[in-house]
Each structure stands twice: as C-alpha cells, then as structure tokens.
C-alpha cells in the first residue's frame, strides 16, 4: 500500500543532496507542482519557472503564477510563445510535432538555466510518461535520458523525483503535502498542451479555436469528475449551413474519459442533455465550428490524447 507521508520523507532526503542553484519547471499541473512544493522546503536555492508556450488553456499563465505567489514561492514567467509556434510551423505528423515541442522545450530550459546560472533542473516526469515513451507508444515531452538522449545536449542535469510513481499516487502526495484539492485533483494536461489537441498544423489561430472549445468543455463536463476531459480540433472541415449558406466549418471532437493510471481508459457515460448543451455552446460561441462529435473509444486501442 502506497504511503504518501513516507514517500515524501524519502524524496525530501534525496532532494536535500542537491547543492547549488536549481530550477523547477512548473506547468501548473499536478506533477510539476508537487515537485516544486517537495523541493521548496529542502532545496536552498530554488527558482520556479513557468514557460508560457502559447499552448496553455485560457488564463493559465496568470492562474499558475498567482497560485505560486500566494503560497510564497517566487515564480518567473518566461514568454516563449513565438519560439514554440515557429518550431511547430508546417508540422502535421504527430510524432514530429511531439519531438519539435520537446526540442524547443529543452532548448528554452537550457537557456533559462544558463541565465539563472543554475546547475540542476527538477521536472515532474512520472512513471506513465516513461513507460509510454519507452514502450514506443508516444514521445512524451519530458522523457530524455530513458530513451538515450543526453540532457547535457541542452546543458541540463535533470532530477525527476516522481519518476517511480503513477498519477493517483502523485495526487496522494499532493494531498499529503497540504496542497488544495483544486490542485491535486486537477485533470491531467499534457506537456505539449493544446499542440496535442490541434490535429494538423499548430498555428496560433487554430490553437485559439481549441482553447475556446476546451474552456467550454471543462465548464460543462468537469462537474462529472472524469479522469480527463478536453476538446480537439480535427484537421478536416465539414459541410454545413449557417444563415442559409453552405459553409465548410471546423470539426471539434470532445473527449471525456475515466481512468486510474492513464494506461487504460473508458469513455464517460455523459448524459445526453449535457452533450446537447455542450454542443450548443460550442456551435454558438465559436462561429467557425460546424460539427461537434463525442468520442466513444476506450484506451486501448485509442490513446487518451489524439496525437
């Protein structure tokens, strides 16, 4: 039986060994926030950094930054939006997209460590990320050493305190650390962010469509307490009618799943009325969308994300 308090003590002892300025990369998600709070009490010279890659949900950079500040942790927000969109330009292949994101992510982090004159990077990689990347399912953005990429290539020495536990255990650690439920119970959001949910080329304009649909989806479906729910912008257009005219509009797929460890997942049995309300809101609030579909595939064979 997993004991979060014992785990916290063990990890703190390990983190105490770190001597020298250290950066922790926070995304606002459960994994990296738990890492930051674990390290905060035992690592002397810790800098919390949030990379604004332009692929976050609405209001996220501001929310993450105030969350840390309110709890007495100094956080630096680094705007790298242009760099990320430039690196994703013209890429449609899912794995290429993930690799381009990963490369930009670590290039930016390497630069941040250099600017801060920091020696170490703490990041929130968890066991499922490593398992899926090593298993060849997909390249998770935060896995390097385990697949033979030397972090020194980016000028980094990486510490991964949570690499031996899964999501439900990370949540238990977050709870034991005294973090608020809204944090440790937060639905997972992948490192490459909305880039995982824009099928085809990731442009600022297409990202904005999925950002709006994500906000509506979370507002309507989070109360069902699923493991994860989100919207995806598909790469094709569908024929429809608006104001008596034929248009080719965007297609939004809605995903809502139940899972424990993200290794398997089942679609949530969302009440029809809720789906209808969600559909109406997406169609009314995002004029470029002409079709909304609800995804009923489990994992396997489908993964949770679309890329």
Please identify, among the stretches 3-11, 55-63, 189-197, 211-219, the one whose residues bind ligand XMP according to the rule CB under 6 A. Answer: 189-197
Which H helix or E strand runs over 60?
Answer: helix 60-70
Minimum distance between the CB of residue 147 and ligand XMP, rounded to whole angstroms? 13
Residue 25 CB, nearest approach to ligand XMP (Å): 11
DSSP string computed for 241-294: EETTEEEEEEEEEEEEEE-SSSSSBEE----HHHHHHHHHHHHHH-TTEEEEEE
160 binds ligand XMP (CB under 6 A): no
Query: In the block, which residue shows the tokens 């009490």?
Result: 41
Q: Which of 38, 262, 286, 290 binds ligand XMP (CB under 6 A)?
A: 262
Cβ at position 32, least distance to ligand XMP in Å: 9
Q: Which is nearer to ligand XMP, 45 or 261 (CB)?
A: 261
Please measure the distance between the N-terminal and C-terminal CA atoms of the chain and give it in whole angstroms: 34
Residue 142 touches ligand XMP, criterion: CB under 6 A: yes
Of 191, 214, 233, 252, the residue at the interface with ligand XMP (CB under 6 A) is 191
Q: For ligand XMP, how many residues bind (rule: CB under 6 A)?
A: 18
Instruction: Pick between residue 65 and residue 140 the one whose CB is nearest to ligand XMP.
Output: 140
For 244, the token pair is: 């008596």
Query: Restricting to residues 112-141, which ones interact with ligand XMP according to CB under 6 A?
Result: 129, 132, 137-138, 140-141
By CB under 6 A, residue 190 contacts ligand XMP: yes
Nearer to ligand XMP, 138 or 171 (CB): 138
User: Measured from the CB of residue 262, what is the shortest distance to ligand XMP in angstroms?
Assistant: 4
Is residue 153 within 8 Å of 115, Cβ to Cβ?
Answer: no
Q: Is the peptide bond before 300 cis (omega within 30 degrees of 0)?
A: yes
Name which of 113, 7, 22 is nearest 73 in CA terms. 22
**Among 174, 192, 226, 249, which residue interacts with ligand XMP (rule: CB under 6 A)?**
192
Please, what is the minimum distance in Å from the beta carbon of residue 238 to ligand XMP? 24
CA 164 to chain CA centroid, Å, is: 19
User: Residue 59 carries which DSSP code?
Assistant: T
CB of 125 to ligand XMP, least distance (A): 8
Sign of CA dihedral 175, 180, 182, 187: negative
Least distance to ligand XMP from the beta carbon of 72, Å?
Answer: 26
Distances in Å between the Cα of 174 and the Cα atoms of 69, 159, 186, 290 are 18, 18, 11, 40
Q: Is 304 one of the binding residues for ligand XMP (CB under 6 A)? A: yes
- Shortest spacing between CB 94 and ligand XMP, in angstroms: 10
Q: Is residue 107 within the footprint of ligand XMP (CB under 6 A)?
A: no
Q: Does 11 bind ligand XMP (CB under 6 A)?
A: no
Angle of the 4-16 helix axis to the 30-40 helix axis, nearest 10: 60
DSSP character at residue 222: G
> Contact between 228 and ligand XMP (CB under 6 A)?
yes
- Comparing CB distances to ligand XMP, the nearer of 45 and 132 is 132
- DSSP conformation class of 188: P
Listed residue (171, 282, 189) closest to 228, CA to CA: 189
Which residues form the interface with ligand XMP (CB under 6 A)?
129, 132, 137-138, 140-142, 188, 190-192, 196, 228, 262, 299, 303-305
């Amino acid at each position: 039986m997993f004991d979060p308090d014992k785990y916290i003590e063990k990890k703190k002892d390990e983190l105490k060994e770190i001597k020298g300025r250290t950066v922790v990369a926070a995304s606002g998600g459960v994994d990296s926030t738990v890492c930051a709070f674990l390290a905060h009490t035992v690592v002397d010279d810790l800098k919390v950094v949030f990379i604004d890659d332009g692929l976050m949900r609405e209001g996220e950079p501001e929310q993450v930054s105030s969350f840390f500040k309110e709890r007495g942790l100094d956080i630096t927000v680094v705007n790298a939006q242009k760099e990320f969109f430039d690196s994703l330009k013209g890429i449609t292949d899912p794995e290429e997209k993930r690799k381009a994101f990963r490369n930009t992510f670590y290039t930016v982090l390497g630069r941040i460590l250099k600017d801060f004159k920091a020696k170490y990077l703490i990041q929130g990689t968890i066991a499922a990320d490593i398992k899926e990347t090593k298993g060849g399912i997909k390249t998770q953005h935060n896995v390097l050493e385990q697949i033979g990429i030397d972090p020194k290539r980016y000028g980094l020495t990486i510490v991964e305190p949570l690499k031996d536990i899964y999501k439900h255990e990370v949540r238990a650690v977050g709870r034991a650390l005294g973090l608020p439920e809204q944090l440790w119970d937060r639905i997972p959001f992948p490192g490459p962010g909305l880039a995982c949910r824009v099928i085809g080329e990731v442009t600022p304009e297409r990202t904005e469509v999925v950002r709006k649909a994500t906000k509506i989806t979370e507002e309507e479906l989070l109360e069902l307490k699923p493991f994860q729910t989100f919207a995806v912008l598909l790469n094709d257009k569908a024929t429809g009618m608006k104001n008596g005219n034929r248009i080719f509009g965007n297609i939004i797929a809605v995903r809502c799943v139940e899972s424990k460890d993200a290794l398997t997942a089942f679609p949530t049995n969302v009440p029809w009325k809720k789906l209808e309300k969600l559909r109406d809101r997406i169609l009314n609030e995002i004029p470029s969308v002409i079709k909304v579909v609800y995804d009923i595939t489990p994992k396997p064979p489908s993964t949770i994300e679309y890329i």
